[in-house]
Amino acid sequence: MQEAYIVAGFRTAITKSKKGGFRFTRPDDLAVDVIKGLLASVPQLDVKRVDDVIVGNAVPEAEQGLQVGRMISARAVGIHAPGITINRYCASGLESIAMATAKIRTGMAECIIARRNRKYEYGANRGLENSSVFCHCRNRTRLLFKYGLNRRSGG
């Protein structure tokens, strides 16, 4: 079994969500910038050698949804590299590294970018309002809560 190594690592700065410098930056745009910076820091790595991009995302909705891992991969690395979004809630970033390690150690890949993608102002209970589903469901409470909060009252 071959060994897996972390060659480089980057993270975004922490800012105040309502006043910070990234407040108007979409999470996928931020991820693309971070990955491009990561790749620039390792100039000896040919971007064509990246086998996969694994993105951990605890709340995949709104701009953080819709298979954001693939969209980030295509924009940051290129169309040749697949991308996947995984959800392990608070451990999504850690799980992305664990999956990358497992794939490399078993010979399924040689170079993987693994990261967490989460912007808290795009958090839970906000994304539905920003999605196309909201327009369809806004006046259909029964459709929204048929199997959820309103189940006891018959939907």
- 69 with 87, same domain: the answer is yes
Under 8 Å between Cβ of 38 and 8? yes
**For residues 34 and 8, what is the distance between their CA atoms, to the nearest angstrom?**
12
The C-alpha torsion from 133 through 52 and 29 to 132, rounded to 10°, is -10
Q: What are phi and psi of 55, to 5 degrees?
A: -115, 120
Amino acid code (one letter) for 49: R
Backbone angles phi, psi at 83, to 5 degrees: -145, 150
Q: How far apart are CA 36 and CA 84, in angstroms?
A: 18
The pLDDT value given to residue 130: 46
Given a cut of 90, whether residue 67 has pLDDT beyond it is: no
Q: Are residues 135 and 61 in the same domain?
A: no
Q: Which of 27-41, 59-73, 74-88, 89-103 has the lowest mean pLDDT?
A: 59-73
Q: What is the extent of the structural domain holding 142?
A: 125-155
Same domain, 107 and 69: yes
pLDDT, average across residues 75-89: 92
Q: Where does the pLDDT of residue 42 fall: very low under 50, low under 70, confident under 90, or very high at 90 and above?
A: very high
Q: Is residue 65 pLDDT above 70, yes or no? A: no
| Sheet containing strand 112-116, strands side by side | 83-86, 52-56, 112-116
Report the SS3 class of residue 82: coil
What pLDDT is stored for residue 147 in this prediction?
A: 42
The answer to whether 152 and 130 are in contact (CB under 8 A) is no
pLDDT reading at 31 higher than 70: yes
Q: What's the pLDDT at 63?
A: 63
- State yes or no: pLDDT of 128 exceeds 50: no
Q: Tell me how many domains the chain contains.
A: 2
Percent of the chain with pLDDT over 70: 70
Whether residue 134 is found in the same domain as residue 61? no
More confident residue, 130 or 85: 85
- Do residues 90 and 138 share a domain? no
State the pLDDT at residue 10: 87
**Same domain, residue pair 9 and 61:** yes
